Amino acid sequence: MVSIKRALVSVSDKTGVVDMARGLAALGAEILSTGGTAKALRDAGVAVTDVAAYTGSPEILDGRVKTLHPKIHGGLLGRRSVPAHVSQMQQHGIGPIDVVVVNLYPFEATISKSNCPFEEAIENIDIGGPSMLRSAAKNHEDVVVVVDPSDYARVMEALKAGKVDHALRRELAMKVFQHTARYDSLIAGYLEKQVPGGDGKFPKMLSLQFERVEMLRYGENPHQQGAFYRELNSKEPSVSRGKILHGKAMSYNNFLDSNSALELVKEYDEIAVAIIKHNIPAVSLSGPRRSRPM
């Protein structure tokens, strides 16, 4: 059975967070929260304890320090099955935190804005959020950690049923580290572009993040396995975000030919048609090609 005494809820993306917090409160959890999330929950009628009141330490440095406290991280990292941990938590007045619902400052959205000031980008680097997520994910046997709002419903269903199995806990922990790894790579990539002499096109450390869209029927050849991935949050027109209107699922070679056709017509300013067979252009019809820098 899952016993929920305390949940920490602090999000930038507030999609579904009120319903999630209501569900946790209905299960008897004390809701700890901060800033805008605490206000949103209170406005919705959810009882909230401010983290500052819980820790006894005020938010300082314009909110840069608020959750970086032993009562928070001790409550996340303390192992309930280790007597020495339990004893030390009791000795220092640290209560367990059983559920963490956290997502991070919108760094990617911030730097995507045209002419984003460097200072604004820096202030949108989250420190406390990744720290709480990583602490909770490390101790996922005792702490249910949710970083993705799309997981709220199934996590609440499991909590209401009284059992969050090991498979779900490990999946949620995996998603945390995938999320924080990508977050850090975005920050590192952005900062490299700000360094004098930095090369945004050819970074010293190349970090690529793609999400799996589907498993393919087979790979390049029938005896091989294959999967199709797309770049996260890419805005460029791409086969990866196309929609199949009819017919069976596409194969590796179908995607390869479709991508070649799309990239070819993107070379033109006017409406264009491209016919591709085995990755070789058979026909390309349009007006003059646009001039594109190499």
| 276 and 155 fall within a common domain | no
Q: Is residue 118 part of a domain?
A: yes
Q: Which of 139, 170, 194 is the last residue of a domain?
A: 194
Per-residue pLDDT tens over the stretch 208-254: 888 888 899 888 888 999 999 988 767 778 888 888 888 888 888 88
> Total structural domains in the chain?
2
Looking at residue 294, what is its pLDDT? 39
Q: Is residue 24 part of a domain?
A: yes
Which residues constitute the domain of residue 125? 6-194
pTM for this predicted structure = 0.79
138 has catalytic annotation: yes
Q: Is residue 109 part of a domain?
A: yes
Q: Tell me the angle at which helices 166-194 and 128-138 cross, rounded to the nearest 10 degrees.
A: 150
| 186 and 244 fall within a common domain | no
Q: Which of 166, 194, 222 is the last residue of a domain?
A: 194
| 84 and 152 fall within a common domain | yes
| 89 and 179 fall within a common domain | yes
| 179 and 219 fall within a common domain | no
Round to whole Å and give the CA distance between 103 and 142.
20
| 43 and 171 fall within a common domain | yes
Residues 6+ apart with CB under 8 A from 64: 127
Q: Which of 194, 229, 261 is the last residue of a domain?
A: 194
Contact 59, 38 (CB under 8 A): no
| 222 and 267 fall within a common domain | yes
Q: Is residue 225 part of a domain?
A: yes
Q: What are the per-10-residue average pLDDT scores of the chain (294 residues)?
A: 85 94 94 92 94 88 86 94 93 94 92 91 93 96 95 94 92 96 91 77 79 88 90 80 85 89 86 85 62 48
Residue from 5, 14, 138, 266 carrying the catalytic annotation: 138
| 149 and 218 fall within a common domain | no
Residue from 204, 235, 246, 278 carrying the catalytic annotation: 278
Looking at residue 75, what is its pLDDT? 94
The CATH number of the domain where 225 resides is what? 3.40.140.20
3-class DSSP state for residue 152? helix
Q: Is residue 205 part of a domain?
A: no
| 179 and 39 fall within a common domain | yes
The CATH number of the domain where 87 resides is what? 3.40.50.1380
| 28 and 141 fall within a common domain | yes
Per-residue pLDDT tens over the stretch 70-89: 999 999 999 999 999 999 99
170 alpha-carbon distance from chain centroid: 16
166 has catalytic annotation: no
31 membership: H or E segment, kind and range = strand 30-33
Q: Is residue 290 part of a domain?
A: no
